[in-house]
Amino acid sequence: MTREPVVIEDWESRRSRFNHDWLKNRHLNRLDGFLALLASPAAAPPDLLAGFLQHDLVEWEKKAGEARDLLARFEDEMSPRACFSQPPLCLLPAARREWLAQDLHDLWRARYPVSDWVAAAREALHEAEQAYHVLENLLGPHAGERVKQARTLRAEFVAFAAACRRLGDCVARLPHEILIV
């Protein structure tokens, strides 16, 4: 039997890295700061705006993948079934371990609205991705044009920020520990 890593901590720490370290601490801060600068054009240095559009905004593409992966792995890693891959439950005979793990997983899904939690987070992610693509299409590929274009897209940036904030809330609502059934 191969010993698996401690996946429970891994999911939680990956969630923290995504949601706390990046989404809330960086991404939303940058988006809100950018929006504040758009609202007061006189104080907005073009370099800062350009830097945000070229380096910060596009980080979303990579991070959206992380979010998808995080949500996809939630059930596997945060279900009580995950406890059967670690001592002491992993020492149970395989036949017994399989049915017991599956039963606990089913109970967990029945007792908690797991599917609803994940579905809500996926929907929020989908909205954010759509809002991002709308923005990217309107901003265009040319670095020089993007700042100028961005100044006309305040509503689209607001929509993207709101969707990202919803995603952050949905991800934060997912349990921080394996819930007992």
Partner 1 sequence: MKSLPRILIIDDVYGRAMEAENRDRQLFCARLGVRDVTGRGAAASVENPVAEALLHSGQMRTDRRVENDLEGVVECVRAGWRHWPRWALILIDMHFQTGPLDPATGEPQGDPRDRDPARYFGLQIIDRLLQDKELAGIPMVILSSMERKQIEQRFARRGVFAFVEKDQLNREGLDVLLWEHGFLEDDRIVGHSLPILAALRAARRVSRIGNTNMLLLGETGTGKELVADYIHRTSRREGPLRKIFVRANDDMFAADLFGYVKGAFTGAMRDRAGEAELAHQGTLFFDEFGNIPGAAQDKLMRLLDTGIRETQRIGDSRTRKLDLQVVLATNRFEILKDGFRRDLLQRANAGNPILLPPLRQRREDIPLLVEFFVRRHEQRLGAEHREISTGAMELLQAASWPGNVRELENEMLKAVSDYRGIRYLSTEHVDAVRGREAVPVAPVPAAVASPRSPGPEVEQHLSLQGVMEEMDQVEFDIESRELWAGQLMGCQGVYARLMARYLQAALAASAIASGEPRPTTAIRMLLGRKTLRTSDAASTIKRLLSVSREAIADLLADESLHLGGTLRWAENLRGGAGRRPAAGQPGKKKG
In the complex, the residues that contact partner 1 under the rule CB under 8 A are 9, 13, 16-17, 19-21, 23-26, 28-30, 32-37, 40, 42-45, 48, 51-52, 55-56, 165, 168, 172, 176
CB of 20 to partner 1, least distance (A): 5
- C-beta of 55 vs 111, nearer to partner 1: 55
Residue 80 tokens read as 């009580």
- C-beta of 29 vs 102, nearer to partner 1: 29
Residue 44, classed as helix, strand or coil, is coil
- C-beta of 20 vs 122, nearer to partner 1: 20
Closest CA to 174 of 112, 125, 130, 128: 112
CB of 19 to partner 1, least distance (A): 8
- C-beta of 25 vs 115, nearer to partner 1: 25
CB of 97 to partner 1, least distance (A): 28
Backbone phi, psi, residue 52, to 5°: -60, -45
- Report which residue type is found at 91: L
Residue 70, classed as helix, strand or coil, is helix
